[in-house]
Amino acid sequence: KAGVTQTPRYLIKTRGQQVTLSCSPISGHRSVSWYQQTPGQGLQFLFEYFSETQRNKGNFPGRFSGRQFSNSRSEMNVSTLELGDSALYLCASSFLPDFYGYTFGSGTRLTVV
């Protein structure tokens, strides 16, 4: 059974550019969440989607956005990149968060130069 797949694994972008990250959840999982991990702040919640609807949003600026498609795949977009956006971006999926918890992908390492 395939796990949560995130692409690309690594990205290098220049300040001011925008970036799109992709996440394919485990088959049958309809809840997809995104987290940012940095050495200073640890893991911070970005947003959660279920059946193409955003149910929760973390405390991040509007430059961070996401969406979910009808096949449950999700993308997150960061516009006008800043140096501080350099981080490991992790995606997690769940069949039923109330009962089964979350399974994480390997992440996308974004470096902004």
Partner 1 sequence: KQEVTQIPAALSVPEGENLVLNCSFTDSAIYNLQWFRQDPGKGLTSLLLIQSSQREQTSGRLNASLDKSSGRSTLYIAASQPGDSATYLCAVRNSGGSNYKLTFGKGTLLTVNP
Q: Assess 81 for contact with partner 1 (CB under 8 A).
A: no
Nearer CB in complex with partner 1: 75/97 = 97
Q: Token pair for residue 90?
A: 């992790």
For strands 108-112 and 10-13, give the pairing. parallel
Helix (H, G, I), strand (E, B) or coil at 85: helix
Q: Token pair for residue 79?
A: 């516009």
Question: Of 26, 74, 105, 110, which lies in the binding site for partner 1, with binding defined by CB under 8 A?
Answer: 105
If residue 98 lies in a helix (H) or strand (E), which one and from where to where?
helix 97-100
Nearer CB in complex with partner 1: 83/98 = 98
Question: Of 18, 20, 43, 69, which lies in the binding site for partner 1, with binding defined by CB under 8 A?
Answer: 43
Q: Token pair for residue 111?
A: 């470096």
Q: Token pair for residue 94?
A: 């769940």
Question: Of 42, 62, 83, 113, which lies in the binding site for partner 1, with binding defined by CB under 8 A?
Answer: 42
Q: Assess 84 for contact with partner 1 (CB under 8 A).
A: no
Nearer CB in complex with partner 1: 27/41 = 41
